[in-house]
């Protein structure tokens, strides 16, 4: 048990990580974060498929779904509504970037408390800021939920009042060219009439499973989904904006604070996030 949490490493309780693990040494691995309810992971098929794809993108053979499900069921009780984080690394190595000829991936399943999100995030919406930290553009790693997350860490350190009432809950990250990409821990959608657009993640950002899920079900809301590049000016012209995550589904964005030029964009209340949550069966 660590910090009110517990974990399994390669199926073993309360073991730990060698500093020679390449996940620690180089961030050489990938992860997923998901909600456990009644002993089962939400959206497991999507989560596992993305985990396999992300592993494959950096040349790691993903452990089987059966192994991971066994770990999850060992760690989470039927009563828990809690967060599972799965980390898969390339495994232990010797010093230096060259991977061993034969590597055994390290498989970590961790349990954390469900965050206590304020009810008003769901009912009224949330407030965002613009992060000064930009996302570097790297097509070989874009979209992958890998362990090299220093940009997200630096961006998240830029504001501090996420837990206050009416505090800023997320920060928007732009790429080096000023395109809107994502929030530090969420993807972004903007509605223009019947069009629902989300940024292209071909050069940076993490392609979350909830983003893909929303793209898949948009037509049930009579919306035409599209992946496009857009900048802040275009975003400010949206009829509605939402952010999405597998932890809370979707939240309506009510304002964006730009600390750099002391500009604030505000939206009136909207229903898109609630409709999306209903379509995703989050309500």
149: contact with its own copies by CB under 8 A: yes
Q: Of residues 240-279, which lie at the interface with its own copies (CB under 8 A)?
A: none
* List 134, 211, 213, 265, residue binding its own copies (CB under 8 A): 134
Per CB under 8 A, contacts with its own copies among 25-44 are: 25-28, 31, 33
What are the tokens at 126? Answer: 């949330």
Question: In this chain, which of 65, 67, 69, 162 binds its own copies, going by CB under 8 A?
Answer: 162
Site stretch for its own copies (CB under 8 A), options 20-28, 45-53, 63-71, 190-198: 20-28
Q: Which CB sits closer to its own copies, 141 or 278?
A: 141
Q: Which stretch binds its own copies (CB under 8 A): 107-115, 188-196, 206-214, 219-227?
A: 107-115
d(CA 161, CA 175): 24
11 touches its own copies (CB under 8 A): no
Judged by beta carbon, residue 26 or residue 44, the one nearer its own copies is: 26
In the complex with its own copies, which residue's Cβ is closer, 108 or 243? 108
Q: Which is nearer to its own copies, 31 or 76 (CB)?
A: 31
Task: Decide: residue 12, CB within 10 A, 0-12 exposed, 13-18 middle, 19+ buried.
Answer: exposed
Contacts within 8 Å (CB) and 24+ apart, 35-39: 35/81, 35/82, 35/83, 35/84, 35/114, 35/246, 35/247, 36/72, 36/76, 36/80, 36/81, 36/82, 36/83, 36/84, 36/111, 37/80, 37/81, 38/78, 39/72, 39/73, 39/76, 39/77, 39/78, 39/80
Q: In 124-208, which residue ranges form alpha helices assigned H by DSSP? A: 150-156
232 burial type by CB count under 10 A (0-12 exposed, 13-18 middle, 19+ buried):
middle
Based on the shown chain and the rule CB under 8 A, indicate whether residue 58 belongs to the binding site for its own copies: yes
Which chain residues interact with its own copies by CB under 8 A?
Answer: 2-5, 7, 9, 15-28, 31, 33, 58-59, 83, 85, 87, 90, 92-99, 108, 110, 112, 115, 133-134, 136-138, 140-141, 146-157, 162, 176, 184-185, 204
């Amino acid at each position: 048990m660590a910090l009110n949490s517990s974990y399994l490493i390669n199926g073993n309780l309360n073991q730990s990580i060698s500093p020679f693990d390449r996940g620690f040494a180089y961030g050489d691995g990938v992860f997923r974060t998901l909600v456990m309810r009644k002993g089962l992971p939400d959206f497991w098929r999507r989560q596992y498929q993305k985990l396999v794809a992300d592993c494959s993108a950096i040349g790691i053979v993903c452990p089987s779904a059966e192994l991971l499900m066994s770990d999850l069921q060992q760690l989470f009780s039927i009563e828990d509504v809690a967060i599972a984080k799965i980390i898969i690394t390339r495994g232990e190595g010797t010093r230096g970037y060259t991977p061993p000829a034969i590597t055994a991936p390290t498989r970590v399943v961790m349990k954390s408390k469900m965050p206590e999100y304020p009810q008003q995030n769901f009912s009224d919406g949330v407030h965002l800021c613009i992060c000064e930290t930009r996302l570097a553009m790297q097509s070989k790693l874009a979209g992958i939920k890998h362990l090299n997350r220093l940009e997200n860490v630096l961006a998240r350190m830029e504001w501090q009042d996420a837990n206050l009432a009416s505090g800023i809950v997320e920060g928007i990250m732009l790429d080096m060219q000023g395109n809107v990409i994502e929030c530090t821990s969420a993807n972004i959608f903007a509605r223009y009439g019947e069009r629902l657009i989300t940024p292209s993640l071909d050069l940076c950002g993490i392609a979350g499973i909830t983003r893909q899920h929303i793209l898949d079900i948009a037509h049930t809301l009579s919306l035409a989904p599209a992946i496009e590049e857009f900048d802040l000016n275009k975003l400010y012209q949206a009829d509605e904006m939402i952010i999405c995550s597998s932890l809370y589904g979707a939240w309506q964005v009510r304002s964006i604070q730009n600390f750099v030029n002391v500009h604030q964009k505000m939206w009136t209340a909207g229903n898109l996030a609630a409709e999306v949550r209903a379509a995703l069966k989050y309500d």
